[in-house]
Structure 1
């Protein structure tokens, strides 16, 4: 049962709480720390691409095929754990759950620095995927429990920009740490893993006290502020903000919604390219004729550019609520970038195309996560759906981590062709989703989805849409299928 807020307390909260000040308070306590967690997460999973340039394969006595296997094994536990993880997050305190999985992957990341063979590589990459798997989808769902739909895009863009910052910072950090080669009898690539892992452990321990829980129990809010936050979310078609008891029906609702399955195509359309880009950008630049350190450094401005575009698209999405059109446009930009990479034999032109790819993949990823988090009502349904589409999207990293083969250097035609195919799937799925959501909103505007509300005359109401005692009961029971809910297109 969802809790109903007392009307008198709502009126008092509306009179005493300053919304702008409260929103700033929530922003300062939630967004920066979530961004830091994702920054460390993305650095930790992607730093193997930087470490490879400093003789990781030679020291472990592994082939290029075995190295790619090490990248691949990360994605299976990562994708598997995400749908389950969001249910755990909803039932547990975020401060405990998110901090615990971060502490675990920080320890495992540190262990990357002490492995000596192929078996060790497979083990640590599998465990890293298993422990990191709950973060991304969990944070997207967590943030959707705090902010209105029109506010999510900017926050998610800032959060997701951590992936671009990680790409830039990891290149700089790897170049600096590589100078420790030989210190303590360890290679430079080992120190990259050890130092980054220890930094994650320190932040994870702090997170137990820093991360705030859901609005209904958040200790940093006064009672009036909690009521204000929950009421503003309910007025934004998030009726479940005041709490929701777990039921299998919410999982069934997610699995039987067409929206979920179109989302699989959208998320595979950018997640496959995302992992290929983050894991192989240093290698791609290196094979264009630059040394290892120069290649890492040349990846920095690419990620800075991606960060700026991602944040700009986040603001644009919040102001226009045209997320489907934004997806289609930027998928198109990415397609142009990879077509250039396929046909180019010029280092300068290929390097330019890398900028186009970055300006597509990262903004689309943030925009799509916001789009889906905002279009599902019912906290458990939203949690499960977001986890399913993100988990499936991440699973495609297992494919794209195998298509940039050493034998295809220096132009990696196979890898670029596969990524281009993924972008085509994402573009087509985004277009389909946009059209279908527009049609569904139009049906609701015409009254074709109106429920029968007892005591309220309505010529459009049909019993097949449900019979309810009140509007609140209809909203609570149907979630985003309620006739008054409008999808963001």
Structure 2
């Protein structure tokens, strides 16, 4: 019998909540059609939300600095965003579990859209600083909420492709931001307002409109993860598991924010005009977006995370070494190209890797929020890496990014070694019959503490 995807989703909802349900109960459903339906409705909408988020937070980094604001003051405005952004991520994810995501996520989006529009009317350093603080608080819940939300819809072997599809819009945002800034610059003087102020106002209004659309588009579907080793609700073991992942995350996020906030400024320092610098960011971000999706697909297909992340980290390191070692514009631009194109696949991989290895919805929600929240402090640090007095070569900033990448490589190797050790121990326990007396349901309830749970490498 040919069942429409909407009817299939309804059947999944009823079956997933029925007592004593077994995997065989779902055999008649067309899983590929359901996945396509979920991708179309969920990922496309979440990607649009994140596109707005990344545009709104990153456009302050365009090379047209607001007047009457010094270089150190401007860096403070960049830095101020990250403190409330980090503080509110865990509370937001806990609220997400209690409230409907289709209501919570668009609501916080309306809040930051309004803040973004107000940023277009501020007149001085203190006004810009305050609006950046409120923007950080409002945006805090989106990325950890969506990263967790995706794990509730997709199985472990499907997650990175979807995380990459979702996160690749960040690189598209970079490209779109460059084109948008180039276009809005020509609005300078319209209505007596500077072009940069029109950019904040128009983008804030667009964000609110997208949020209103999201209220009607986002749907809530019961996950298919009961027998994927992601059930259970225990809260133990989060801190130790996440701490090393934070170091890895820092090794990716510091360069990510350094690139997203300062790329037009760095390229301008190579001898290009502001407009040309904006346009030269476009091919970098488009290529990074394509690679993020391609690497995510390959990582899901082979069921491996750490090898792909490690290769990306090494490419990032090579890119920044090129920027440090040469003053030639072509070499520096190529180094930035390599670094940025490896950043986005590594980012999606690091978030997916932790979520794959945290079973239990509460543990996963807290763990991902801690990783992204504490890890976001690297963004606060990176906001001060590229100082105006280091122009035009910014070697200090590039060197600091390289230090974070090397630390991330060591953290990755440590995490992979520990997971491999635990997997080997559990294989030995299974071979010795240690699982005897446990039903599949009881093993699922133990989640990542069960000896049948294998950590993703």
The TM-score bracket by the shorter chain reads: over 0.9
1:101 lines up with 2:128 in the alignment: no
Which residue in 2 is equivalent to 1:87? Answer: 94
RMSD: 1.8
In structure 2, the gaps of 5 or more residues are 1-15
Change (3 A) 1:76 1:184: same
Match of 1:335 among 317, 323, 328: 317
1:253 lines up with 2:237 in the alignment: yes
Which residue in 1 is equivalent to 2:333? Answer: 351
Note if contact 2:443-2:452 (Cα within 8 Å) is conserved in structure 1.
no
CA offsets 1:367-419 (integer angstroms, 9 cap, x no match) = 11111111111000000001101111111111110110110000001111110
Match of 1:270 among 234, 249, 252: 252
Note if contact 2:230-2:444 (Cα within 8 Å) is conserved in structure 1.
no
Which residue in 1 is equivalent to 2:442? Answer: 473
* Structure-2 separation of matches of 1:55 and 1:253: 45
Match of 1:156 among 149, 155, 163: 163
Which residue in 2 is equivalent to 1:73? Answer: 80
* Structure-2 separation of matches of 1:479 and 1:185: 60
1:23 lines up with 2:35 in the alignment: yes
CA offsets 1:247-269 (integer angstroms, 9 cap, x no match) = xx51x4312xx321111111111
Structure 1 segments, 4+ long, off by >6 Å, are none
1:194 lines up with 2:201 in the alignment: yes
Match of 2:179 among 152, 172, 175: 172
In structure 1, the gaps of 5 or more residues are 217-228, 451-457
Note if contact 2:182-2:275 (Cα within 8 Å) is conserved in structure 1.
yes
Quote the offset at 1:79 in angstroms: 0.7
1:54 lines up with 2:64 in the alignment: yes
Change (3 A) 1:10 1:264: closer
* Structure-1 separation of matches of 2:25 and 2:410: 49
Quote the offset at 1:112 in angstroms: 1.0
CA offsets 1:278-315 (integer angstroms, 9 cap, x no match) = 00000000011011111000111111111111111111
Quote the offset at 1:133 in angstroms: 0.7
| 3-state secondary structure, aligned to 1:402 | coil
Match of 2:228 among 224, 231, 236: 236
Note if contact 2:227-2:444 (Cα within 8 Å) is conserved in structure 1.
no
Change (3 A) 1:10 1:302: closer
| 3-state secondary structure, aligned to 2:386 | coil
Match of 1:484 among 441, 452, 456: 452
1:112 lines up with 2:119 in the alignment: yes
CA offsets 1:18-52 (integer angstroms, 9 cap, x no match) = 111111111111010111111110010000012xx
Quote the offset at 1:468 in angstroms: 7.6
* Structure-2 separation of matches of 1:235 and 1:101: 33
1:14 lines up with 2:27 in the alignment: yes
Change (3 A) 1:409 1:321: same
* Structure-1 separation of matches of 2:100 and 2:49: 16
Note if contact 1:54-1:178 (Cα within 8 Å) is conserved in structure 2.
no
Which residue in 1 is equivalent to 2:264? Answer: 282
Change (3 A) 1:484 1:12: closer
Which residue in 2 is equivalent to 1:222? Answer: none
* Structure-2 separation of matches of 1:191 and 1:97: 28
Note if contact 1:468-1:474 (Cα within 8 Å) is conserved in structure 2.
no
Quote the offset at 1:238 in angstroms: 2.2
TM-score normalised to the size of structure 2?
Answer: 0.93
Which residue in 2 is equivalent to 1:363? Answer: 345
